[in-house]
């Protein structure tokens, strides 16, 4: 998929206002990337495909689930800020590194999102709020995510985890210690990527 196709797809799904605001955010990311490594420099020419579209593809997987969305390890703001632009519910961005948390706060304020988007500079294990949706894009390992964030989940919480290919052995191993419903959806961006979707996660 080209950058132009990604822009057109986002506009078709969410409208020109969302497209423009995401474009503004991507400019903030590109500028800040000169000061701190928010995204890999090699992906800067593909910000719309690799980062923006890869983020907002999660929105339709959360349809019918209003409420607080918690983004774990938000880093440079993906998927959290594009999702917050495209979706009207509250967003909590959890990021342990101060410089990145400061950037996220600045971006939310600049984009007029600060009434709905909060930034918490903390490790996820210290967060105790309850989320309808939990997402994580840059955190490796599904079980470490469950361990650090299960206190923020209820039986109604959906976990949206963009990954590479999901190994069935990893899911089988998880079932030894966790109860959950699970399915995989193909990424809208890459044939080599998937979205792992978990519901009702609970420790056995």
Which residues fall in the annotated binding site for S-adenosyl-L-methionine?
73, 78, 137
Write out the two tokens for 173: 């191993």
Residues with Cβ within 8 Å of 38's Cβ and at least 6 positions away in sequence, in order, are 29, 32, 75, 76, 77, 100, 103
Which residues fall in the annotated binding site?
73, 78, 137
Closest CA to 83 of 185, 181, 162: 162
Strand order in the sheet with 178-186: 117-120, 91-94, 69-72, 133-136, 158-163, 194-203, 178-186
Query: Strand 158-163 to strand 178-186: parallel, antiparallel, or no bridges (unpaired)?
Result: unpaired
């Amino acid at each position: 998929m080209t950058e132009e196709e990604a822009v057109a797809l986002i506009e078709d799904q969410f409208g020109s206002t969302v497209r423009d605001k995401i474009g503004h955010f991507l400019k903030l990311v590109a500028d800040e990337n000169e000061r701190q490594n928010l995204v890999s420099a090699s992906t800067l020419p593909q910000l719309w495909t690799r980062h923006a579209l890869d983020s907002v593809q999660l929105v339709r997987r959360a349809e019918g689930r209003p409420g607080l969305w918690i983004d774990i390890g938000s880093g440079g703001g993906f998927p959290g800020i594009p999702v917050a632009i495209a979706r009207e519910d509250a967003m909590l961005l959890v990021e342990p590194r101060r410089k990145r948390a400061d950037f996220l706060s600045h971006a939310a304020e600049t984009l007029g999102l600060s009434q709905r988007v909060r930034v918490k500079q903390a490790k996820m294990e210290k967060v105790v709020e309850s989320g309808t949706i939990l997402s994580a894009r840059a955190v490796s390992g599904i079980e470490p995510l469950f361990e650090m964030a299960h206190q923020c989940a209820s039986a109604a919480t959906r976990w949206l985890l963009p990954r590479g290919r999901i190994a069935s052995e990893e899911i089988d191993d998880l079932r030894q210690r966790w109860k959950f419903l699970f399915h995989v959806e193909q990424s809208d961006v890459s044939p080599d990527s998937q979205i792992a979707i978990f519901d009702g996660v609970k420790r056995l």
